[in-house]
Amino acid sequence: MEELLKKVIEKITPDDDETAQLLSFFEELKVKLRGIGEVKLMGSVAKDTHLKGNKEIDVFIIIPPKKDLSGAVKEAEQALGKSNEYTIEKAFAKHPYIRVWKGDLRADVVPSYHIEKGKEPLSAVDRTQWHVEHVNANLAEGKRADVRLLKQFFKSVGVYGAEIRVGGFSGYACELLIMKFGSFQRVLEELSAVKRGTVWFLDSLPGKTFDEPLIFVDPVDKKRNVLSPLRPETLTTAILASRAFLMKPDEKWFFFSGEEGPKVPTVGLFFKSPQIVEDVRIGGLRRWTRKLATYLKENGFDVLEWRVDVDDGEDVVALFLEDLTLPKAEKRLGPSVFKDKMVEAFLEKNEGFYLDGERLIAVRQRRYTDAFKAVEDFIKVELPKGYKAPRVERNVGKSIKKCCAIRQYIKKYLFLR
C-alpha cells in the first residue's frame, strides 16, 4: 500500500506555483479589505492541506463584536466593486458573505467577530480562526500528506464536504482525524470498525451528551461535534468504502469517475437551479423531497431511498422505488370481530368486507396506480420555494449515477475475500 499512497500523494499535492497563485490572490484582496477589519486567510490553504487543482480561498474579515456583520459585507462589496477585475456575488446561508471571482480563482469573503479563545461564539463562523490556529499548531508537518489522502478519498467516494448537498466530512474533520489516528490508513481502519455512538476526542472530553451516530469533540469547543453534518447514509458510505479499500487498495478509489444507472425503478426530477445560495436552496429542496416521499408512501408506493444533488445548472431529485405501478385495488386489514367499536368504524369506512379468521378485511380502490401521476399531482399543489416546475423523467443526474456506481464498486470489492 505504501507505494500506492506515494503515487497518489504526488498527484494530489499542489505545486509551489499553484499555492503561490492562491496566496497572491489573498494578498491582493487583503490590501483592498484591510480598512474594514483584520483580514486573515482561513480554510485549507491557510493550513497547507489543500488539494491540487483547488482554486478557492477563504478570506475572513475579523471585526469587533459591536460591528454589524451585514455592514461589513457591504463595505467589502464596495471596496472590491471599485475594480472591474472582480465578479462579486452576494451570499447568505446562516451567515452573510460574498463570493469574489477573478478569472478561475474564487474567494469567499466572510466577516467574523473577534472572540477570545474558549468564549462562546457570536456567529456561526467565529470558531474558524481558532480551528486554523489549532491545526497549524498541532498537525505534524509530515502528516499533511495523510490529510490530503483522506480528503481525496472522501471526495472520490462522495462523502467530502459539510455542505447540505453532501452532508459529509469537512476539511477540519479530516485534519482532526489524522491528528487523532496518525495516518490515512489508520483512519480507514478505525472507520471500518466504528460502532454507532462512538466518541472521539483529542484532549477534551465532551462538554455535553451528543445524540448522533458518530462524534468527534471539537478541541476548540468541547460542546460541539465536528461530525454533526454527517448524514447517516453518508457515514454508511464512508464505512463501507473504507472496508472495501482496505480489502483491496487501488488507485481508482481516489479518482473514481464511473457512472451507472440505478438498479430499481426511479423517478427523477430536474429543476433549473435558482439564483439562491446552494446551502439555502438545497436545504429547502431536501425538506420538500422528504414531504414528497412521505406522500408517495401514504399512497402505497415503497420509497427505498431519495437523494438530492446538483448537476450542470440543475438541482436533481431522485426517488428510488420498489415499483412504479401498483394494483388498482388495495387490501385493508381490519380489527378482530371481538373489538365492537373498531369493527363498526371499519365497516362504516369501507364497502363490504372479507374475513381472515376473526379479522375483517376490506378492499378499496387506490387513488394512484402510477407513481409519476402521484408526483405530478404533488408538484401541482406544492413546489419547493424558489423553484419552477421540474422536468420529470425515468432517469437521474450524473452525480447520482456516480453514487450508484460507487455503491456497485463497494459491493464488488467487499466480496473479494
Q: Would you state the pLDDT for residue 207? A: 75
Q: Whole-model pTM?
A: 0.91
Q: Are residues 333 and 346 in the same domain?
A: yes
**Beta carbons of 143 and 179 less than 8 angstroms apart:** yes
Q: Would you state the pLDDT for residue 259? A: 83
Boundary residue ending a domain (232, 254, 276): 254
**Beta carbons of 330 and 363 less than 8 angstroms apart:** yes
CATH of the domain at 62: 3.30.460.10
Q: Would you state the pLDDT for residue 416? A: 58
Place of cell 368486507: 353
- For 122-161, how does the pLDDT look when each residue is reduced to its tens digit (9 = 90+)? 888 999 999 999 999 999 989 999 999 999 999 999 999 9
- For 359-411, how does the pLDDT look when each residue is reduced to its tens digit (9 = 90+)? 999 988 899 999 999 999 999 999 999 999 999 999 888 899 999 999 998 98
Q: For the chain, how many structural domains are there in total?
A: 4
Beta-strand pair 266-272/391-393? antiparallel
CATH of the domain at 183: 1.10.1410.30
Q: Are residues 270 and 407 in the same domain?
A: yes
State which H helix or E strand residue 342 sits in.
Answer: helix 340-349
CA quadruple 115, 139, 228, 268: dihedral sign: positive
Domain assignment present for residue 259? The answer is no
Beta-strand pair 359-365/221-225? unpaired
Residue 43 region by backbone torsions, left for phi larger than 0, else alpha for psi between -120 and 50, else beta: left
Domain span at residue 349 reads 329-365
Q: Would you state the pLDDT for residue 340? A: 82
Q: Would you state the pLDDT for residue 151? A: 98
